[in-house]
Structure 1
């Protein structure tokens, strides 16, 4: 400030001195001094313009070179610029975090202005409702979502409950069921939340089907038992008739017991942690156990007429739950026994896989399974032939149990079947659950039952 004053006085004095040298009159002396002052004002205005231009640029590193009196203003402005930049970066970082969270939400989020035009939306809502995030910004929402139920919901003004609509999908894909709910905020703005409830409805459908199937499976033997009990109470039967009825009642009670046990096993498999690798067991021992059970079942239902062969392959050990693995292996072999006609050939065995894993396989010469049924075989209570399944004593849960056991051990269940030729079921376990032994391979057991 002092330098500017000195410059003003100096230029004013210089103007007056120049007029004095020229022998100017008193008024001219005043004019000369005024000219010096005007020159200073022009110089100062030039500096002010440079300072103002720098402020407009808003870049602290491009400060103009000004005299000392302007230095404090420049320094203070630079500090203000830097502080503003830091605050701006913080706000931008927070905004980016909010946008990232907005995009990461598994639910759809869409912001509408007071005219119900799209201000912002994430990819999830675009996927749910089938529009483009960038292209459709600024569009009126009803231009994109024309479902009558949603149109009525939006115009009704009561957003306390969500509305559900069905969105058409691409060819070959099931339509999606979407839940939408609006929330008003600010001055007429709205937030739309969307959620894909297709899987929820599918789960509800599966639950209803499961309850219906269980009820049906239990009702049938209960009806038979009730009828036999009523017969025993109402009629004077001979000893032979009474014994026959009691045997039939025992069969039905055993069927219900088997069903209950399978349901409890499924519940336990779904509700407990996956087995670890602390317990190791020889693969050939498991195979010997299930083959012996398979031969006993063949003796019971086909008088031992099946040709059941076992091939243990190389000796190795498996890590996992002995009970679960035996259950899965036994289910596959017992299914082969039940569905293979008398005189058929059934083979089961273990083999090491090139990748280090192991495979348990069961093949039969039964009627085979049509390709359309294979993907659904592991569904609970799914049967290719319901009458045949009940005749053989199946509950419809065996392959569902096998699938859960295999998944809990990190493996895969593979099914190959040709109608009229037979089927092969394979349980493939990962290398982490297989430990080869440095022992000679166990010879194949080709003794038929």
Structure 2
């Protein structure tokens, strides 16, 4: 504004000087021309400002005359506002990304309990679709009577455990509803399916261990009480020897269970390592010698063993897994049955150890549960064979620690094939002479 007044004052001075020097009419003409020129220049400047206003993100025009100072202040303010908005957008986006990355589900509701937003995990937990479920009541989407009762409470001090079925699978969700902001609500969901399974497994494990140890303890206790209460000369030497033998059998059974439990605990708690090359052929042959002793020459053993194949691993663990599969085959194969032991490399470069028998076989519904601790298809027969019910669980853990897979194929009454397949990354093929030395 000051620049404009100064310009007008200068033109007035110029007109007065010209009017004094030439004549008054000429002076007025100069003043008029100056004012017209100022109006035209202002028009051009205003036109530039009008164009800039239509695209206010660009810097203001370079020369806007008396408007320069005002436009500079406006542009600085606009730029500062844009920076603040950008920072706010970045913060909001970071918060939204963090909410999407949460391992728990998050759902926001308005005062009418209608869904306004949810993250990806909540969509997986409850099957929500924001394109179709937005602004719908949560009670119309999550149709569980216990949730309806929970959600309509005046307050929610404790979470709710929901058991839902989706795609034929049971899912357990911990749901917590809490108010926030002004008449808004937040639902947090957590998948506790695996936690519940682990808790159930723990309870079953404790119950199974108690059950497995109860029988030998009862037998031992009964015999000891009998021996304690009876006079020393009331039992013959043969009876006393028979009692001692039975007690020793039960004590050995408890020792076997405890030993297998300790083995499982060690496998689960110790870190996995690559180990060193193990001559599996030699381990198999040692296990075969023990299996033949257990068999008492009642079975036919067939060997198909590649002496050159080794795997990276821990020999003691591999010995346990190899022996478990062989002893199971001996225990569950009738007299004169055939047990085929194979150790070979597959077409894909993996190494496979398999034990095939012509035993009693396993029903298809029992196969998925065979590696559970203490699971037995026939409890009476399993105890008669002296098994602890932990052999296949140990074998499975050994396989997992060596990045291998345990496969079970069987048909009831037609025998079984148990195989452990090691990945190609762990397979080592020795030279022929080294393989022969390993066989010796």
Normalized against structure 1, the TM-score is what? 0.85
* Contact map agreement 1:13 1:36 (CA 8 A) in 2: no
Match of residue 259 from structure 1: 257
Give a deviation string over 1:361-417, Cα, whole Å, max 9, x none.
Answer: 111111211222212111111111111111111111110000000000011111121
Is 1:399 paired with 2:392? yes
Match of residue 21 from structure 2: none
Partner-residue secondary structure (3-state), 1:331:
helix
Q: 2:127 aligns with which of 107, 126, 130?
A: 130
Q: Distance in 1 between matches of 2:157 and 2:53?
A: 51
* Contact map agreement 2:49 2:64 (CA 8 A) in 1: no
Residue 313 of structure 1 deviates from its aligned partner by 1.7
Alignment map for 1:283-298 (pairs within 5 Å) = 283-298=280-295
Give a deviation string over 1:44-84, Cα, whole Å, max 9, x none.
Answer: 588568647744743124x3465332233334433333333
Residue 195 of structure 1 deviates from its aligned partner by 0.6
Alignment map for 1:340-359 (pairs within 5 Å) = 340-359=333-352
* Contact map agreement 2:161 2:174 (CA 8 A) in 1: yes
Give a deviation string over 1:268-311, Cα, whole Å, max 9, x none.
Answer: 1000011323x223222101110011011112xxxx21112333
Q: 1:231 aligns with which of 226, 230, 236?
A: 226
Partner-residue secondary structure (3-state), 2:389:
coil
Partner-residue secondary structure (3-state), 2:182:
coil
Residue 135 of structure 1 deviates from its aligned partner by 2.3
Shift in alpha-carbon separation, 1:442–1:4, aligned structure 2, 3 A = same
Shift in alpha-carbon separation, 1:335–1:119, aligned structure 2, 3 A = same
Is 1:184 paired with 2:164? no
Match of residue 26 from structure 1: none
Match of residue 413 from structure 1: 406
Alignment map for 1:44-193 (pairs within 5 Å) = 51=49, 54-55=52-53, 57-61=55-59, 63-64=60-61, 66-170=63-167, 173-193=168-188
Q: Distance in 2 between matches of 1:237 and 1:386?
A: 33
Residue 312 of structure 1 deviates from its aligned partner by 2.1
Of 414-423 and 331-340, the range deviating more from structure 2: 414-423
Shift in alpha-carbon separation, 1:421–1:167, aligned structure 2, 3 A = closer
Alignment map for 1:298-313 (pairs within 5 Å) = 298-299=295-296, 304-313=297-306
RMSD after superposition:
3.2
Structure 1's unaligned 5+ residue stretches are: 23-28
Structure 2's unaligned 5+ residue stretches are: 19-23
Q: 2:310 aligns with which of 305, 311, 317?
A: 317
Residue 138 of structure 1 deviates from its aligned partner by 2.3
Partner-residue secondary structure (3-state), 2:408:
strand
Q: Distance in 2 between matches of 1:35 and 1:155?
A: 81
Is 1:221 paired with 2:216? yes
Q: Distance in 1 between matches of 2:198 and 2:375?
A: 16
Partner-residue secondary structure (3-state), 2:88:
helix
Give a deviation string over 1:131-182, Cα, whole Å, max 9, x none.
Answer: 2123222223223224332233333232221112222312xx2232211112
Normalized against structure 2, the TM-score is what? 0.87
* Contact map agreement 1:167 1:175 (CA 8 A) in 2: yes
